[in-house]
């Protein structure tokens, strides 16, 4: 594993870029998401990744969620 660089985000967290082999990639990804981050950090990270992706497509922010309705059909006797 080789470390390439590091950066500090707007929340004060330190992010490091690492180069790993393909065989170690899945284990390293699991370790990052489940051992290094708290549940709140995971939600914030996914949100910031989504916003970054949408900005590359020309959108300003996350779209408003549509309402979802669930219709329960009863079984007729």
- Is 66 part of any domain? no
- Is 61 part of any domain? no
Express each pLDDT in 32-70 by its tens digit. Answer: 888 878 889 888 888 888 888 999 999 887 777 777 777
Task: Give the chain's domain count.
Answer: 1
pLDDT of 64 reads 78
- The residue written with tokens 């329960």 in the block is 72
Q: 36 lies in which domain range?
A: 2-56
Task: State both tokens at 74.
Answer: 């009863």
Express each pLDDT in 6-38 by its tens digit. Answer: 888 888 888 888 888 888 888 888 888 888 788
What is d(CA 38, CA 17) in angstroms, rounded to the nearest whole number? 19
- Is 62 part of any domain? no
- Is 29 part of any domain? yes
What is d(CA 53, CA 48) in angstroms, rounded to the nearest whole number? 9
- Is 30 part of any domain? yes
What is d(CA 28, CA 23) in angstroms, rounded to the nearest whole number? 10
């Amino acid at each position: 594993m080789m470390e390439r660089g590091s950066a500090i985000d707007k929340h004060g967290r330190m992010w490091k870029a690492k180069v790993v082999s393909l065989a170690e990639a899945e284990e390293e990804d699991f370790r990052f998401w489940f051992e290094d981050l708290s549940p709140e950090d995971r939600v914030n990270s996914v949100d910031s990744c989504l916003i970054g992706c949408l900005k590359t497509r020309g959108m300003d922010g996350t779209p408003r969620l549509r309402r979802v309705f669930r219709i329960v059909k009863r079984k007729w006797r």
